[in-house]
Amino acid sequence: MPWFRRLKQRFVNWLLRDVVVERLKAGYVIVGDPAKLLKDGTVVFAPLTADPSTLEAGKLWYRSDLDAWYYSPDGTTTKQLGGEVGISNVNVYWSYSEDYIPNEDVVSLSVSFSTSSTSDILLLGMMSISGTYYHGYSVTVQVKLDGSTVASGILYPPTSSESAKGTITIPGVKKNVGAGSHTAQVYAAAGSAGGLYVYRRAIVALVIER
């Protein structure tokens, strides 16, 4: 009967009057556990001192003990949101040589360093080659981190009757590198080009620790 439905609705409204009306008047809503406070157009997260035990793709939380925000992009891994870059967590390591190396099969230069936390590493390798033993062959130059190739480039000979020669610079980025000891390297192997003649090479590693 219509009058009975109206009576039930009024009774429910009366039961919920404190929950709904008072909170709307106060201008806030509490959501979830741990609670997130929606107030005055802002979201206030409950501070945590450990990562959530259950991750979900897109989950965001605040670590008050670290004064940092974290999120999970896929429900499995954890990443810091917008890690600050400052003088305290950026280091540059490099090595440079102008020693002339005549007719070598492999030419490289490396620099070693250590990190105390997960890092993003920008590598920049440079090699100046004055020629190869055989004409008409290209030379591949690589930048490596801990023995694995991060990026590479090719130095071509001007013509089939000339040697590959010139200066090549190779940039590369390796993200989420674990803490520990690392070696960055610029590397070239003669291969079918025969021996390499190199007179300048450099390797730079810019490390941003999180």
Model pLDDT, residue 143 = 97
Sheet with 28-31, strands from edge to edge, namely 28-31, 36-39, 42-45
User: Where residue 1 falls among pLDDT bands split at 50, 70, 90?
Assistant: low
| Same domain as 92, residue 194 | yes
Q: Which of 1-5, 44-48, 98-102, 164-168 has the lowest mean pLDDT?
A: 1-5
Please say which residue of 25, 58, 83 terminates a domain.
Answer: 83
Using alpha carbons, list the distances in angstroms from residue 34 to 46, 61, 86: 6, 10, 32
Model pLDDT, residue 86 = 59
Asked whether residue 61 carries a pLDDT value surpassing 50, the answer given is: yes
| Same domain as 23, residue 101 | no
Sheet with 180-189, strands from edge to edge, namely 106-115, 180-189, 139-145, 148-155
| Same domain as 62, residue 1 | no
Please say which residue of 26, 60, 83 terminates a domain.
Answer: 83
Please say which residue of 60, 83, 106 terminates a domain.
Answer: 83
Closest CA to 145 of 205, 92, 66, 60: 205
Query: Residue 7 and residue 98: Cα distance in Å, rounded?
Result: 93
| Same domain as 193, residue 118 | yes
Query: Residue 126 and residue 198: Cα distance in Å, rounded?
Result: 11
| Same domain as 156, residue 117 | yes
- Size of the chain in residues: 210
| Same domain as 110, residue 200 | yes
Query: Residue 10 and residue 5: Cα distance in Å, rounded?
Result: 9
Q: Please say whether the beta carbons of 119 and 173 come within 8 A.
A: no
Domain of 61? 47-83
CATH of residue 160 = 2.60.120.760
Q: What's the domain count of the chain?
A: 3
Query: Residue 110 and residue 185: Cα distance in Å, rounded?
Result: 4
| Same domain as 116, residue 164 | yes
Q: Please say whether the beta carbons of 69 and 82 come within 8 A.
A: yes
| Same domain as 51, residue 144 | no
| Same domain as 92, residue 42 | no
Asked whether residue 175 carries a pLDDT value surpassing 70, the answer given is: yes
> What is the C-alpha end-to-end distance of the chain, expressed in Å?
66
| Same domain as 124, residue 104 | yes
Q: What is the rounded average pLDDT for all residues in the chain? A: 83
| Same domain as 65, residue 23 | no
| Same domain as 116, residue 137 | yes
15-57: pLDDT as tens digits: 555 554 444 444 555 555 555 555 555 677 778 888 888 888 8
